[in-house]
Amino acid sequence: MSALVVRVALPVPIPQVFDYTAENITPGDLGRCVRVPFGRGEKTGLIVALPEDADLPVERLKPVIAIQREAPALPADWLAMVEFTARYYQHPLGEVVAMALPPRLRKADAVAGTEADPLLEATPEGREALHEARRDSRALAILRRLAEQGPRRRSLLREEEGAPAVADALKRGWVAPGAAADAALMDGAPELTAEQQAALEVLSEGFGCFRPFLLAGVTGSGKTEVYLRLVQQAIAQGRQALILVPEIALTPQLEGRVAGRFPSARVVSLHSGLAEGARSQGFVQAMEGRADIVLGTRLSVFTPLPRLGLIVVDEEHDASYKQHEGVRYNARDLAIWRARQCAVPIVLGSATPSLESWHAAETGRYRRVELASRAVAATLPRVRPVDIRREKLQHGVSEHLLRAIGRCLERGEQSLVFLNRRGYAPVLSCPSCGWVSRCPHCTANMVLHLTDRRLRCHHCSHEATIPLACPDCGDQDIQPFGRGTQRLEETLAARFPQARVLRIDRDAARTRAQWEALLDQIGRGEADILVGTQMMAKGHDFPRLTFVGVLNADSSLFAADFRAPERLFQQLMQVGGRAGRGELPGEVMVQTQYPDHPLYKCLEAHDFVRYAALQLEERKQARFPPFAANALLCATAPEVAGALAWLAEARAAALPLAQAFGVQVFDAVPMRMLRLARRERAQLLVEAPGRPALQGFLGAWSRLLWSIRPPRDLRWHLDVDPAEV
């Protein structure tokens, strides 16, 4: 049989695919991984086409080394999605494929462990052993869990307790596969409110076709319960459900609710915290239809799902859905594209929708469904701006806020003080000569972390020991300036020595296990005052938490980025929503020097609709998204002059195209944070009246950009629909 041509996408920073020859190729090999010679070495890529003709004479093409046929081929709709991603975000296809595929999927052992995933339940022998056991063990912990909570999937137990412990429990006969139960709703499901029931009926109309819904529900209104009822309907129809969450920190609680509600459903959790093998197996399990529910962060949007029937994007406004390195995609936007591709409904849920989604609902492109009241007996918390212009603060905390915390302690309730700045202090400084702890590699200060006595840059991760004296003048009286969560924790512990103060930030919760331990500690009532960053603002339910105090909110009011006020309002609404979610009433205090600012007035009234209208009118006047479409061309070099010179050349090449497509290309400027990780940065903005014009322009311009040979030490990228401008 003569050799046939295969077109391969390789993980190289070049916007092209490569042709090779292969023997015994079949149409079923489209979408398979393949090992090919490349340059002086070898690379693994993906077969994306089987063309009849090659770009070069066939005799000049190199043969493939091996085709990976042990793993299933990726389906055509998945290939279409990665091709769209590469095209829309102006990124080489091979790098998009490499990002979307789990690394081990390219190897023969990627599908190891694809056996059935049964429900495990406690056996009569196991229940008897539970009463007789004298020494605790991991296997015994699994047995106790199944006896108390009911059956659970083997894959979930392996992830949570470890494969050896599961194997030990099976070997001892303490647990065994049980009869598969119906995937119907469990008896423990709460009764829906009238508002939830009405929302569910509207959303259920979308099954069987592409329908984008915006579920706008206040914090605590029961959006998650509505999601679960929709998932139940999808499973009952024999379809799969994809649930996206913005961060790994949100997955443990949601995983628990999903597993408890659907004990017989095959649930796959996919996020960057998984080991490579677990991620690969989950990916294959979903692709082969052996998963009913896929729950994950932004990368999960690329999971192949042959029976997809529903997509849910929780906290759709969250900036974490946008990737800021490599392939700069937005998972929410790709989820909408995928829902259209597969003709399924998509539900975008948020208490504070993005202005883009809100505008889409206002103009009829999405259908808006509202949950205006909290579920159960809870009411929205009272929000009060605290004017600190004439008040003396104690390490940044007002007396009003401290007294409110004291009242919470007297009632035996929990309080949260929110400061979105981790570390002890944002900078170490010398009062004698003015020295500050600047990062040697970035245009940023190094943050003082007192717990491990280090100075750390939160941008490039450079670390240094705390100097004993000023490096410039030798003065030993160097002092921390400003405050972070560590210093706030210290301040509150000194003011309330009888209280248990718990800090929750990226330093305290570096791993999933640490994060879950902190959540358990809060849930058991083992903390009185919580000190938290934005990790605490999303999706958590603490019934005893009744007061939230917010520090340093004003810093985003007048920021250069036009989206900063929107993000501030969303953050304050979200963190304030942690208060009073149970039967106890809640209160929120926001320290500010601008108590009469429209943002705080809308926050006080819980009036997202009015704030959205004000912001959209401002954006319309300024021609900002959603009334325009933007892209950034960014360049980095050892010195900013080199980046600016290359961007000027790129702009000159763009001007004729810009006129043809009706877009505007602005002059290049240094970025606000000029230096990052030893490189200096500049950018230029492209503004178009809409996405079609922007895409037409970028497609033509990017081909020119690849032909402009940059200096060897310069790097550049396009950021389409940037989160920050």
Measured N-to-C along each axis, helices 138-149 and 163-171 cross at an angle, to the nearest 10 degrees, of 80
Q: Tell me which residue of 30, 33, 38 sits closest to 68, measured CA to CA.
A: 33
Q: Are 405 and 579 in contact (CB under 8 A)?
A: no
DSSP 33-63: EEEEEETTEEEEEEEEE--SS-SS-GGGSPB
Q: Residue 255 corresponds to which tokens in the numbers above?
A: 């995983």
Q: Tell me which residue of 641, 631, 723 sits closest to 682, measured CA to CA.
A: 641
Q: Are 367 and 212 in contact (CB under 8 A)?
A: yes
Measured N-to-C along each axis, helices 154-161 and 138-149 cross at an angle, to the nearest 10 degrees, of 130
Strands (E), 229-357: 240-244, 267-270, 293-296, 308-313, 345-350
- Distance, in Å, from the CA atom of 282 to the CA atom of 110, rounded to the nearest integer, reads 10
- Distance, in Å, from the CA atom of 720 to the CA atom of 725, rounded to the nearest integer, reads 11
Q: Per the annotation, does 33 bind a ligand?
A: no
Q: Per the annotation, does 209 bind a ligand?
A: no
- Distance, in Å, from the CA atom of 521 to the CA atom of 544, rounded to the nearest integer, reads 13
3-class SS at 690? coil
Q: Tell me which residue of 628, 632, 608, 631 sits closest to 619, measured CA to CA.
A: 628
Q: Per the annotation, does 457 bind a ligand?
A: yes
Instruction: Write the single-letter amino acid at 139.
Output: A
Give Cα separations from 523 to 253, 414, 542 (angstroms): 12, 10, 7
The set of residues, in sequence order, having a beta carbon less than 8 Å from that of 453 and lying 6+ positions away, is 465, 466
Query: In degrees, to the nearest 5, what angle opens at C-alpha 535 toward C-alphas 506 and 427?
Result: 50
DSSP 322-338: B--SSS--BHHHHHHHH
Q: Per the annotation, does 634 bind a ligand?
A: no
Q: Are 254 and 293 in contact (CB under 8 A)?
A: no
Report the chain's C-alpha Rg in angstroms: 28
Q: Are 285 and 291 in contact (CB under 8 A)?
A: yes
Q: Residue 34 corresponds to which tokens in the numbers above?
A: 């393949």
Strands 119-122 and 345-350: unpaired
Q: In what order do the strands lie in the sheet with 152-153?
A: 152-153, 119-122, 175-177
The set of residues, in sequence order, having a beta carbon less than 8 Å from that of 92 and lying 6+ positions away, is 12, 13, 14, 15, 16, 86
SS3 string of 190-220?
CCCCHHHHHHHHHHHCCCCCCEEEEEEECCC
- Cα 218 to chain centroid, rounded: 21
| Largest separation between any pair of C-alpha atoms in the chain | 87
Q: Tell me which residue of 557, 546, 536 sits closest to 601, measured CA to CA.
A: 557
Q: Per the annotation, does 342 bind a ligand?
A: no
Give the annotated binding-site residues: 430, 433, 439, 442, 457, 460, 470, 473
Give the annotated binding-site residues for Zn(2+): 430, 433, 439, 442, 457, 460, 470, 473
